[in-house]
Amino acid sequence: MSGGIDSTVAAILLLREGYSVVGVTYRTWDSVSEGCLEREKGCCTVDAILEAKRMAEKMGFPHHFLDIRKEFKDSVVRNFIDEYIAGRTPNPCVVCNAKIKWHEVAKLADSLDCKYIATGHYARIEHKDGHYYLKKGVDTAKDQTYFLWQLPQSLLHRTVFPLGQLTKPEVRRIALEAGFEKLSKKPESQEICFVSNNDYREFLEQEAENYSDICRQGNFVDPKGNILGQHSGYPNYTVGQRKGLRIALGRPMFVADIRPATNEVVLADREDLQSSRLYAKDTIFVDRGSLYDGIEVEARIRYKSPAVGAKLYFDDSFVRVDFDVPVWAIAPGQSVVFYKNDLILGGGIIVGRT
């Protein structure tokens, strides 16, 4: 429970279905400013924990608190920092779901003899041919399966998504009718929960070791290596970025590549960021044995991008993804997720494009 509308409505629906419900909220990060704890918007803050506890008390079921700040820092935050230092764009929500949220809650569920784990994600699960598949939520605008592709079968088979069949307006209506008027009108937070003011650059400056030595001035170059100007440090840029470059070249230019080894940031015209192929590593598939070279799927390269038709080709160390039409701004470090008829077949971490 985050204290927000989605997890609260998920609990309401579970109670209506006759489940015995136990709430759990975790503390993952402390934001410190001038020596004082900040109470920011978003999940996992002190305010969110207290709000979740109040929600549980109001609905009449027990609530537990997990302090997993160390585990979160050692996995999610460490990966977040390392990826930016390596010149890639991380996806902390994917790492958090796989390595923190489900696993830590599962431990508590086992200790409390709870059979299932439920969350407020907009997703569904389908049992097919002996496997559990993530399935897109009915509300395609809110579907969150992209962030869940790393969940193993051992956790998917005991996961329940009460909101998977609902749209966001329907969820707000349920909250209102259940007496949570203020919550039903609460705006959503899209920020990374541990990054203040949604400024990852400031976060890296505060948290990354030897950051001043790493994030130093270097060259903007074009795809041929010609120097265009000076940048403020390669970790300050992400593939596809146009705003904030602070360089005037007479036409819009975009970050096309980041080269930590030479401290270069490659700028190019928009069309130069179109790619027809990518490579992915650390892939996970629900049923690898059923897949074959050339299988047609829909591939999504970021949460807000639509899935695009593609074919998969398998190698021992990576998966090659050939798109039916070029896609824009493929960013190493991001997840590519493979769908077939609304089911997730698997996913991987993008390592390159051509």
Using CA atoms, how far apart are residues 162 and 10, in angstroms rounded to an integer? Answer: 5
**Which residue type, as a one-letter code, is found at position 351?**
V
Please name the residue ranges forming H helices in the chain: 5-16, 46-59, 69-72, 78-85, 92-96, 102-111, 153-156, 168-177, 181-184, 200-207, 211-214
Q: What is the DSSP secondary-structure string of 60-112?
A: T--EEEEE-HHHHIIIIIHHHHHHHHTT----HHHHHIIIIIHHHHHHHHHHT
Token pair 């302090």 in the structure block, residue: 67
Catalytic residue among 43, 44, 93, 193: 193
* Angle between the N-to-C axes of helices 78-85 and 200-207, in degrees from 0 to 180, rounded to the nearest 10: 100
Using CA atoms, how far apart are residues 193 and 207, in angstroms rounded to an integer? Answer: 15
Contact 56, 1 (CB under 8 A): yes
How are beta strands 274-285 and 227-231 bridged, if at all? unpaired
Backbone angles phi, psi at 194, to 5 degrees: -105, 5
Using CA atoms, how far apart are residues 245 and 228, in angstroms rounded to an integer? Answer: 12
Contact 133, 339 (CB under 8 A): no
Using CA atoms, how far apart are residues 48 and 44, in angstroms rounded to an integer? Answer: 6
**Residue 36 annotated to the active site:** no
Q: Six-digit token pair at 181? A: 């008027």
Contact 305, 62 (CB under 8 A): no
**Residue 96 annotated to the active site:** yes
Angle at 290 between CA 289 and CA 291, to 5 degrees: 95
Catalytic residue among 43, 96, 114, 215: 96
Active site residues: 96, 193
